[in-house]
Chain A
């Protein structure tokens, strides 16, 4: 069989599972996740995604603004990963090939480090730029006064206001400044502004230019055009003031606005980088769970080895209070292990020989040795981190709205800015400086940056998935969240979901001449071959009573009904009344007893030996302590709750009454669960199915939202939309509540981001000027823009405080 890893480029994994039959995979798309740096808004992300999607050989590409990655499915024969990276770089953003076999934990660590660096760099640039902006403002005061007597007022309302306040105070403090010739001040400002633009703002101009060449535009375009126009205008006024004066226009310069706008935008970006980092705090907490070294018994000696030196099969020693370094199986010793960080389970879980333990959990009471099983990228912790990273990088369908808007947004804003200039220039009231037209159009460009829109959805998804993980709920990304919010019906599997899923034999009844032990021993012998949950209970009960199990000579299972077979010379039929009736056995003598047991929520199994009714076994599966409360909470959320079970009606009804379920569908064969969900969906219901994730897999897939109740070690996590790491049904209610809050918050975010632009642009264009004389300064516009991004992210962070339902 071809080694699936051989043909892969670094860090790539095939999109589909390797073909178990070993057939050569036909043009299977290769998946590659490429870290991309420098993206700040929805338009940036849409642009990188578009370029990748249009690259020949690429089948699909999804770019995430939050995780700063591009996930590309491509034909490895048609295009090399290096070429993909080159394409991204050509758009003006940074990209590099992922490192080989980089684990999810290392990848997250690298991402966090990169984000921290980005934040520090942006912060330094923002602070230096704002200080330079303050200096430029002070230096501009004498210039403005010098120009004022030329008949032109200060055009920027914000500057006019500050001039009125600061200038009188500045004159006594620094009278020398007013003695410096105006051209010297102008040239000084020209150099300062040019320097700041090159040092702190360079990436805006580079990106804007590269985007422009690709017929695309993003936030950088607006900033570059806005500040660039102001700078060019001012430079002409400085270098050739005569051309202005000859037309009766003061050679006003606008340098301080350029610098301050850049400063505010950089400050906004820095806050954004910091807040984005905080949204992944839950993920980082998971990453931090892994200790750096493991105490391993090798060659008869205890050695403290770094984790990457630990191999599967190594014997690992853990002392009380220590964190388990890797996953494994207990060999000797006993202890209680605190798994709350992974499963949300508050009480330590007892572990003895044979028990599975998970790396990252804390050993509480005793010391034990265990054998390392899964390591590195395959470990449970790494898988949870990877799933969460994928979830956080995934896109909610509602995001498409933001993308569609921002793709046409920038060209439309550029057009509006031009129109603003023309209208102001032509209809400017008598006596106003024509430069006001210019200020208004720059303000339009600056206030229209769609950053907040780009952040509205992904920040909410990111915080929600993080908060979910803290509660032991793994949400499979934005789409799962959006669908979970729309659920109106919850279908619960009985066994393992409502009940403990650990059935035990409660009653054994035998009809003479058979004895109870005889019946139990024979049935247990046959059930040894069965994988049914009830079989385990029966075999266990026989073992408890010290009954020797015989060898089954034949065995046939009838799913949903029972089993038939022989043990020694005895022919057995074990199952429900229908199976016995089919075999020509009358269950009437035990019918009343069976009904009484079923009414007490026992599952009754009839036994016929050699064609005669021999007795019955009753199996009880205790209801989880939390189920009743959980179902009440689901009702509080306005959901209707349906219980599906293979049990007989009366036994199912007894459980339903105990936990308060509205509707019971009993006697469902495993395949029937899918049909039942389909039937509900045809009724127009949006259905969530909660099951234990293994035998319910088809039903989980059929449901609009599949909720797997795992134990944290279960790889059935892969098959569901939502995974509850702890077997507590209340978490299902929490998950739905969290999803609803997230969607409400997302809509709020989009609304505010949109309203901000819808109101901001006309105000910047000056529609309020004729009536109220209100005109937005470009400087205030840049501050408002930074504020809007920060407010959207802050709003999303509120989800981190969501209390369980």
Chain B
């Protein structure tokens, strides 16, 4: 495994984390707001 491989693996991990953070965490409605809407 060379430096390029390590860089690609690290970049991949960061990218996967970013995708999941953006779609699952950052997009989540704040709990207080959600409760307010449901009530």
| A414 contacts partner chain B, Cβ-Cβ < 8 Å | yes
Residues of B within 8 A of A421 (CB): 8, 12
Residues of B within 8 A of A408 (CB): 24
Most buried by A among B9, B23, B37: B23
Which A422-439 residues have a C-beta within 8 angstroms of B?
Answer: 422, 425-426
| A643 contacts partner chain B, Cβ-Cβ < 8 Å | no
Instruction: Check if B23 sits within 8 Å of A216, measured CB to CB.
Output: yes
Which B22-37 residues have a C-beta within 8 angstroms of A?
Answer: 22-24, 26-29, 37
Task: Give Cα A426 to B27, complex, Å.
Answer: 32
**Within the complex, which residue of A54, A56, A216, A415 is in contact with B19, where a contact is CB–CB below 8 Å?**
A415
Identify the closest chain A residue to B14 (Cβ): A418
Task: Give Cα A432 to B29, complex, Å.
Answer: 45
Instruction: Check if B23 sits within 8 Å of A425, measured CB to CB.
Output: no
Instruction: Check if A214 sits within 8 Å of B27, measured CB to CB.
Output: yes
Task: Give Cα A709 to B8, complex, Å.
Answer: 68
Task: Give Cα A215 to B29, complex, Å.
Answer: 10
How many residues does chain A have at the interface if contact means C-beta atoms less than 8 Å apart? 18
Identify the closest chain B residue to A56 (Cβ): B37
| A127 contacts partner chain B, Cβ-Cβ < 8 Å | no
Most buried by A among B1, B12, B22, B26: B12
Residues of B within 8 A of A54 (CB): 29, 37
Instruction: Check if A425 sits within 8 Å of B8, measured CB to CB.
Output: yes
Distance in angstroms from B1 CB to nearest chain A CB is: 7
Identify the closest chain A residue to B17 (Cβ): A415
Known: A415-B16, A418-B16, A421-B12. A426 touches B1 (CB 8 A): yes
Instruction: Check if B37 sits within 8 Å of A414, measured CB to CB.
Output: no
**Within the complex, which residue of B1, B5, B9, B22 is in contact with A215, where a contact is CB–CB below 8 Å?**
B22
Instruction: Check if B15 sits within 8 Å of A418, measured CB to CB.
Output: yes
Distance in angstroms from B24 CB to nearest chain A CB is: 6
Known: A422-B8, A426-B9. A411 touches B29 (CB 8 A): no
Which A406-465 residues have a C-beta within 8 angstroms of B?
Answer: 408, 410-411, 414-415, 418-419, 421-422, 425-426
Identify the closest chain A residue to B25 (Cβ): A215
Distance in angstroms from B18 CB to nearest chain A CB is: 9
Task: Give Cα A212 to B19, complex, Å.
Answer: 10
Distance in angstroms from A296 CB to nearest chain B CB is: 52
Distance in angstroms from A113 CB to nearest chain B CB is: 36
Residues of B within 8 A of A415 (CB): 16, 19-20
Distance in angstroms from A117 CB to nearest chain B CB is: 33
**Within the complex, which residue of B5, B16, B22, B37 is in contact with A419, where a contact is CB–CB below 8 Å?**
B16
Distance in angstroms from A52 CB to nearest chain B CB is: 12
Instruction: Check if B23 sits within 8 Å of A411, measured CB to CB.
Output: yes
Interface string of A189-222 (1 = CB under 8 A from B): 0000000000000000000000010111100000
Instruction: Check if B24 sits within 8 Å of A411, measured CB to CB.
Output: yes
Distance in angstroms from B4 CB to nearest chain A CB is: 8
Instruction: Check if B23 sits within 8 Å of A410, measured CB to CB.
Output: yes
Distance in angstroms from A41 CB to nearest chain B CB is: 16
**Within the complex, which residue of B9, B22, B28 is in contact with A422, where a contact is CB–CB below 8 Å?**
B9
Identify the closest chain B residue to A410 (Cβ): B23
Identify the closest chain B residue to A221 (Cβ): B23
**Within the complex, which residue of B27, B29, B37 is in contact with A216, where a contact is CB–CB below 8 Å?**
B27
Task: Give Cα A421 to B1, complex, Å.
Answer: 15
Instruction: Check if B9 sits within 8 Å of A411, measured CB to CB.
Output: no
Instruction: Check if A411 sits within 8 Å of B20, measured CB to CB.
Output: yes
Identify the closest chain A residue to B27 (Cβ): A215
Residues of A within 8 A of B1 (CB): 426
Distance in angstroms from B14 CB to nearest chain A CB is: 9
Residues of B within 8 A of A216 (CB): 23, 27
Known: A411-B20, A426-B5. A418 touches B12 (CB 8 A): yes
Instruction: Check if A215 sits within 8 Å of B23, measured CB to CB.
Output: yes
Known: A411-B24, A426-B1. A418 touches B37 (CB 8 A): no
Distance in angstroms from A169 CB to nearest chain B CB is: 39
Instruction: Check if A414 sits within 8 Å of B19, measured CB to CB.
Output: yes
Instruction: Check if B37 sits within 8 Å of A215, measured CB to CB.
Output: no
Task: Give Cα A56 to B5, complex, Å.
Answer: 48
Instruction: Check if A425 sits within 8 Å of B20, measured CB to CB.
Output: no
Task: Give Cα A415 to B1, complex, Å.
Answer: 22
Residues of A within 8 A of B5 (CB): 425-426
Task: Give Cα A425 to B1, complex, Å.
Answer: 11
Residues of A within 8 A of B28 (CB): 215
Task: Give Cα A56 to B12, complex, Å.
Answer: 38
Instruction: Check if B23 sits within 8 Å of A426, measured CB to CB.
Output: no
Residues of A within 8 A of B15 (CB): 418
Distance in angstroms from B28 CB to nearest chain A CB is: 8
Residues of B within 8 A of A217 (CB): 23
Known: A214-B27, A411-B24. A426 touches B8 (CB 8 A): yes
Task: Give Cα A418 to B22, complex, Å.
Answer: 15
Residues of B within 8 A of A425 (CB): 5, 8
Residues of A within 8 A of B20 (CB): 411, 415
Residues of B within 8 A of A419 (CB): 12, 16
Distance in angstroms from A793 CB to nearest chain B CB is: 28
Task: Give Cα A651 to B8, complex, Å.
Answer: 85
Distance in angstroms from B38 CB to nearest chain A CB is: 10
Identify the closest chain A residue to B36 (Cβ): A56
Which A579-600 residues have a C-beta within 8 angstroms of B?
Answer: none
Distance in angstroms from A192 CB to nearest chain B CB is: 30
Identify the closest chain B residue to A214 (Cβ): B27
Distance in angstroms from B36 CB to nearest chain A CB is: 9
Known: A54-B37, A216-B27, A426-B5. A411 touches B12 (CB 8 A): no
Instruction: Check if B27 sits within 8 Å of A422, measured CB to CB.
Output: no
Residues of A within 8 A of B26 (CB): 215
Residues of B within 8 A of A426 (CB): 1, 5, 8-9
Task: Give Cα A625 to B24, complex, Å.
Answer: 61
**Within the complex, which residue of A212, A410, A422 is in contact with B12, where a contact is CB–CB below 8 Å?**
A422
Task: Give Cα A753 to B20, complex, Å.
Answer: 24
Identify the closest chain B residue to A59 (Cβ): B37
Interface string of A271-292 (1 = CB under 8 A from B): 0000000000000000000000
Identify the closest chain A residue to B2 (Cβ): A426
- Sample (20) of A-B pairs whose CB atoms are under 8 Å apart: A54-B29, A56-B37, A215-B22, A216-B23, A217-B23, A408-B24, A410-B23, A411-B19, A411-B20, A411-B24, A414-B19, A414-B23, A415-B20, A418-B12, A418-B15, A419-B12, A419-B16, A425-B5, A425-B8, A426-B1
Closest 6 CB pairs of A and B: A215-B27, A422-B12, A411-B23, A426-B5, A415-B16, A414-B19
A419-B16, A426-B8 are known; give 13 further A-B pairs, CB within 8 A: A54-B29, A215-B28, A216-B23, A217-B23, A410-B23, A415-B16, A418-B12, A418-B19, A421-B8, A421-B12, A422-B8, A422-B11, A425-B8
